[in-house]
Amino acid sequence: MDRLYDCKVIGNYLYAVGASPTGSLGTYEFVFFKLDPANLSNYVKKTFDLNWFNDDFPTSLSTDGSNIYVSGFYRMTVSSGSALKLDLDLNVITTNVYPESNIAFAIGVNTKTKNIWIVSDTYLIIADPNLSTKKGVLLPQPAPSWFYSSLIFDMDGYGYISYGNRIFKYDENLNLIKTISLPDVISKLIFISDYIYATSGFKLYVLNRQLELITEISLNGYNFRGASFDNSHLYLAGWMDTGSGDVDWLVYRVDPLVSRLHLVVRGTDDGIYYRWMTSSWSQWVKLPGLTTDTAALAENRDKLFILVRGNDNGLWLSSIRIPTGEFLGWQNLPGTTPSRPAISINTKNSKLYIVVRGMDNGIYFRELNSSNWVKIPGSTIDAPSAVVLNDKLHIVVRGSDGASIYHGQFDLLSNKWLDWTKLTGSTPCAPSITTNGTHLFLAVRGYYNRIYVKVWSGSWEPWEMIPTGTTQSPPAIAWYNGKLYIFVRGDDNGIYYCWKTETGQWSAWKKLDGITPSTPAFVPPP
């Protein structure tokens, strides 16, 4: 009887991989199925023996959309990890054996580099699309005595590997970024909309991409190795002990957390309006309160923080519970400002930092839970923009000459100011800065109201002009789901946005319903 170990929908077909007995030899070979989901009795079956007279077992299946990749192992006196590449008609294109490993537990196609990652019992291997080894690193030891292994990628090409009760985050060059341990062995990892879901023991854990725990959900069963997402719900398959020596199979349906791009604008009535986007935009919701300027936004775990300048130049902070949409009211913070404020989160410790232009044109910042404002050297005649990256608070401002652009850093670990750097170019408006966790992105309004973007990865790259579009207000910039987004107020007070595609091209501008007299404010998950 055939044993099936993994399956995946590719195009219009369901593909499954397993092991099939070879007959009188009592050994197994790879078996592949291509099934019609509308009629599962309509299928194509093919077998492949990687190593005759020995057992061949698959473990997982992945795809780049054009090919199928299968991990597994063959067993002689010792086992060796193996991988196969097939076309969509189940013809084997190439195979490879990795003698440095005993079992290849998981295989995946990196979403950014398109390289093939193979997770074994001891090594993490990068191979090219033809399965030739490019690089390998030893997984952190000691290896657990028994474990499952699962491999997923986010949209920026970071890989997340479960190994016993631990999750490892690697960059595309196999540098280990972070490790987290859960209480029990992890059965499965799933990546949905900027969040990582891990089944472990009797619980489903939800983490962000920094491997910070967001929430956990108790499950009645365990060993939830089966998981599928239909763009609306997450389905988990596992089993539970009935207490009488039998087991019952369980299927859970979970409503996943949603990675949202949050948008807040000032209305023509000075009201504050909010909506969000996943695969489509929600309706506008009018929030309590008024503002005379653009809001500042930050998301921290399950809350969206909204900071505005009031009619009295005071600072007012509110928040929304993202899962429920509950508005939690306004809080008046110490201090005043003649311009819109800035707010940013340090994802390493979830601290929120507020940066403002003072009534004396000085530049001040404070941690939300601190009562003390810190004055930074220098001055500005406009609103600052700020973001935290690698424990440094990065601040960009328009200079007192009304045109120059300055970038400065405050080291949050040593509490030291690291001075200003004057950038090339000029702007008649406040600049806007964001990060994707590794780089800074700066947007300004330039000559003839065109929009320019600049990238920092330790030093600043040349300016890039967005090919189309103009604005008479400061542009807003943020990184969301692997893309760089720009929002602007149009000459007609309309709300427009575009993004930079994976090929490096800028999309056409899209217009949202509604109008605003100020720059839109938007923020993605941290």
Quick one: 71 and 213 in the same domain? yes
Residue 449 lies in a domain: yes
Quick one: 194 and 310 in the same domain? no
Distance CA 15, CA 36 (A): 9
Quick one: 317 and 168 in the same domain? no
Distance CA 177, CA 191 (A): 17
CATH code for the domain of 387: 2.120.10.70
Residue 248 lies in a domain: no
| φ, ψ of residue 147 in degrees (nearest 5) | -170, 160
Quick one: 206 and 271 in the same domain? no
DSSP string, 142-196: SPPSS--EEEEE-TTS-EEEEETTEEEEE-TT--EEEEEE-SS-EEEEEEETTEE
Sign of CA dihedral 172, 176, 177, 179: positive
Range of the domain at 423: 261-523
Tell me which of 201, 226, 251 is where a domain ends.
226
Distance CA 57, CA 150 (A): 17
Q: Are 331 and 316 in contact (CB under 8 A)?
A: yes
| Residues 6 or more apart in contact with residue 420 via CB below 8 angstroms | 377, 378, 406, 407, 408
Distance CA 476, CA 91 (A): 49
- Which tokens go with 138? 């030893």
Residue 245, pLDDT score: 61
Residue 243 lies in a domain: no
Quick one: 136 and 205 in the same domain? yes
Q: Is the peptide bond before 142 cis (omega within 30 degrees of 0)?
A: yes
- Which tokens go with 479? 């990184």
How far is C-alpha 33 from the chain's CA centre? 32
- Which tokens go with 146? 């028994």
Tell me which of 226, 243, 273 is where a domain ends.
226
Which residues on neighbouring strands pair with residue 274, listed in sequence order? Answer: 264, 285
Quick one: 407 and 469 in the same domain? yes
Quick one: 212 and 270 in the same domain? no
Quick one: 201 and 318 in the same domain? no
CATH code for the domain of 83: 2.130.10.10
Tell me which of 175, 202, 226 is where a domain ends.
226
Residue 254 lies in a domain: no
Quick one: 455 and 392 in the same domain? yes
Q: Are 521 and 263 in contact (CB under 8 A)?
A: yes
Alpha-carbon torsion, ordered 515, 518, 519, 522, to 10 deg: -70
Residue 243, pLDDT score: 65
In this structure, the chain runs to a length of 526
Residue 1, pLDDT score: 47
What is the block-wise mean pLDDT of the chain (526 residues), using blocks of 10 residues? 74 84 66 86 83 66 91 64 90 84 84 90 90 90 64 89 91 93 88 85 86 84 74 75 65 76 96 89 92 94 90 95 84 96 92 97 96 94 96 97 96 95 96 94 95 96 96 95 93 96 88 96 88
